[in-house]
Amino acid sequence: MKNIFSGIQPSGDLTIGNYFGAIKNWIKLQSEYNCFFCIVDLHAITVRQEPKRLREKILETLAIYIASGIDPNKNTLFIQSHVPFHSELSWILNCFTYMGETSRMTQYKEKSLKSGESISVGLFTYPILMAADILLYNTDLVPVGSDQKQHLELARDLAERFNNIYSDTFKIPDPYISSTSSRIMNLQSPDKKMSKSDENENSYIKILDDENIIRKKISRSVTDSIGSINYSDDQLGIKNLINIFSSITGEDTYDIVARFKNKGYGDLKNEVSNLLIDELSTIQKRVKELMDNKDYLEKIYKDGAEKAIEASYRMLRKVKKKIGFI
């Protein structure tokens, strides 16, 4: 069986961007692949996190994975900081990465604009840690949103560079990016991606938002003054709602446009809210139950760490040997 690796940062409340862009694809792929789904807490501390909240968000992220339908018996679910090899391989790969490669990363450029002078070096080297995550597990496929494409290219380049210097070591991973859900947009500025760390709460929908909040946020989402429903880059807000619709029902975007032919924006918003509430409410109930059963979650992440260590220690040993470490 081929391997999958993917992860989400427990840096806040998971959004429907994380759900449609990542988790839903994981669920689709889990029966055909040997999957490692990680909670990337080491990545989350590239920006300041409050310890109590971080602890809570790590567990909540695990609960969301399981509640969404990822089977902990079939897949390896684990917490990144429980497997020290990630940090260790990350240092080694740091020494094979050029300054120019990391400076070019869009996510770094965007986040550094926000942080100004106090930007951490971790935010700069973040994609190298991500490459280490992926390359440790002989990963074939990495299901992510389209914002991660550039990071994945770096992982491929580093793997190829290392292989060329020392002989075949790493597998070259491929991205898996779906068409309609790869970039769920910000509800207030539909030209930007929806992000859990946005300061405007109305710009995103959390997986755990309740019914009233979902309706309110969707009804206030920014549209345009054109007045008819089309799937077009001139109507980014509407296009985003159609993409969300399609991510839930699996319907083609053309069919959705046809369905709303003589209807207004209010109708589309109402239908998208209904679909979202329906999709998320079962997950929310299960997350609540799981968060009340911390012993169960602990068992999952401990077993997961054991399996992840077992699956990755050989790769690090091989890398160290090839480099010339004793």
Q: Is 111 among the residues known to form the active site? A: yes
DSSP labels, 97-130: --HHHHHT-HHHHHHHHHHGGG--HHHHHHHHHH
Contacts of 127 (CB under 8 A, 6+ apart): 102, 105, 107, 108, 150, 151, 154, 155
From the list ligand LTN, ligand ATP, none, which binds 134 (C-beta under 5 to 8 Å, kind-based)? ligand LTN
| Active-site residue, selected from the candidate residues 24, 196, 217, 269 | 196
- Within residues 189-248, the interface with ligand ATP by CB under 6 A covers 193-197
Strand order in the sheet with 174-176: 76-79, 34-39, 3-8, 141-143, 174-176
Q: How far apart are CB 35 and ligand LTN at their closest, in Å?
A: 11
Of 76-84, 126-134, 182-190, 250-258, the segment contacting ligand ATP by CB under 6 A is: 182-190
- Within residues 9-38, the interface with ligand ATP by CB under 6 A covers 9, 11-12, 15, 17-18, 21-22
Rg (the chain; Cα; Å): 20
List 4's β-bridge partners, or say none. Answer: 35, 141
DSSP run (H or E) holding 321: helix 294-323
49 binds ligand ATP (CB under 6 A): no
Q: What are the tokens at 320? A: 């160290």
| Active-site residue, selected from the candidate residues 2, 24, 28, 111 | 111
151 binds ligand LTN (CB under 6 A): yes
Nearer residue to ligand LTN within complex by CB, 35 or 214? 35
| Active-site residue, selected from the candidate residues 24, 57, 193, 217 | 193
Active-site residue list = 111, 193, 196
In the complex, which residues of this chain contact ligand ATP (CB under 6 A)? Answer: 8-9, 11-12, 15, 17-18, 21-22, 144-145, 147-148, 182-184, 193-197
